[in-house]
Structure 1
Amino acid sequence: MQLTLPLLSLYAAALALADPSIFGAQQQVHLSDDLKVPGDNPLYYCSDPRDDIIQIKSVDLDPNPPKPGAPLSITASGNITKEIEAGAKVHLQVKYGVITLINREADLCDQVGNVDLACPLKKDEMKLTKDVSLPNEIPPGRYTVLADVFTKDKEKITCLHATVDMHR
């Protein structure tokens, strides 16, 4: 089973909302409909994804938007165009309104271990469904998530941005 980085990003964001201790220069992202990630989701690319190592076909969230205390099902499909080796990193930033909850860089290979995968991630087509439990304690409000993923040589794997309004 393969994993798309959008799924990892959403999973990391969900984990971050559940437990900010998982992740230890701010980036500003401008949203454009041209940069919308296909599917039923709040995701946008940070920039033109044409040369990204991950080519996303679709990402669907159920429910969209996610709800505190409810399970979140994430279905993603895409293509890894080049093997992703150990040393890859994900820079994750999660904000609640204007308050930065998380602004941390983490080892991508350690994070994919949370979903029973290991590096290297092979060049391949993929489809994955993952269920995540969102805690009821997530405060209502607007959350913005930025996940910038890159190889050990600083080659862009993908960069995604989402804004999610959590309601009870």
Structure 2
Amino acid sequence: MKLLSVIALLAIASPLGVSAASLQLFPQAPVDISATYPVSGDNPLEFCSDPSNNILEILNVDLSPNPPQPGQTLSINAEGILHETVERGAKVLLQVSYGLIRLISQEVDLCDQLETNVDISCPLEKGKLTFTKQVDLPKEIPPGKYSVIADAYTKDKQPITCLQAKNIVFH
């Protein structure tokens, strides 16, 4: 029934010189789902989408070892530029999947996580930001393929950054 309504609308509009483009039935450009946005450095990370509007411009992330290995210490070195100050109340939506099974899906406070795990205090001031973190990975990580998404945003829902790592394989 809806299809007939659209066809009727187009039939009525066509003699008037009205096209689908002028009616703005399709106002946005098509999305290129094959586009990837890799993060610079020695890492398996990609931005979830075009990072040009993110508050955090990530310049470089290096992981050692890359790929991470169970039972080893993962060293993370990151460098970026904050284009705005990030206040308390910012959140991170963290999702971890094992194959097709979602193991973790939780929203956490960004500042609490940074203060506890990286020794960085909020507010995060505008300007250059660098950090180094050592993470001891348990040797009991089950073998398989993992994917991680970390989507960070301000208390006003402005995108700070969104990173993903697909198909991290532990043997």
Q: Output the TM-score relative to the length of structure 2.
A: 0.77
The CA RMSD measured in Å over matched residues stands at 1.2
Q: Of the two, which has the highest radius of gyration?
A: 2
The reply on whether 1:139 has 2:155 as its aligned counterpart is: no
Instruction: Identify the residue that residue 47 of structure 1 maps to in structure 2.
Output: 49
**Structure 1: segments with no counterpart, 5+ residues:** 1-29
Where do residues 120-135 of structure 1 align in structure 2 (5 Å cutoff)?
120-135=123-138
Is 1:152 equivalent to 2:149 in the alignment? Answer: no
Deviation at 1:126, TM superposition (A): 2.1
Structure 2: give runs of 5+ residues left out of the alignment.
Answer: 1-32
Q: Match of 1:65, as an amino acid? A: P
Q: d(CA) in 2 for partners of 1:131 and 1:119?
A: 21
State the partner residue of 1:10.
none
Tell me, in whole angstroms, the C-alpha distance in 1 between the residues paired with 2:103 and 2:115: 23
1:117 to 116, 120, 133: 120
Whichever residue aligns with residue 154 of structure 2, its letter is T
**Identity over the aligned pairs, expressed in percent?**
55
Q: What does residue 162 of structure 1 align with?
A: 165
Count of residue correspondences: 137
Instruction: Give every structure 1 segment of 4 or more consecutive aligned residues whose post-TM-superposition deviation is greater than 2 Å.
Output: 30-33
Q: What is the Cα deviation at residue 159 of structure 1?
A: 0.6
Q: After TM superposition, give the deviation of residue 128 of structure 1 in Å.
A: 1.8
Mapped to 1, the partners of 2:79 and 2:45 lie a distance apart of: 14
Query: Any idea what SS the aligned residue of 1:153 has?
Result: coil
Counterpart mapping for 1:88-127 below 5 A: 88-114=90-116, 115-127=118-130
Specify the SS of the correspondent of 1:50. helix
Post-superposition offset of 1:51: 1.2
Residues 4-54 of structure 1: CA distance to partner in whole angstroms, max 9, x if unpaired? xxxxxxxxxxxxxxxxxxxxxxxxxx6644x00111101011111011110
> Aligned letter for 2:49?
S
Q: Summarize the Cα distance change of 1:131–1:42 in structure 2 as closer, same or farther, 3 Å threshold.
A: same
CA distance in 2, matches of 1:161, 1:31: 15
Aligned to 1:82: 84
For residues 69 and 31 of structure 1, the distance between their equivalents in structure 2, rounded to whole angstroms, comes to: 34
**TM-score (norm. length: structure 1):** 0.78
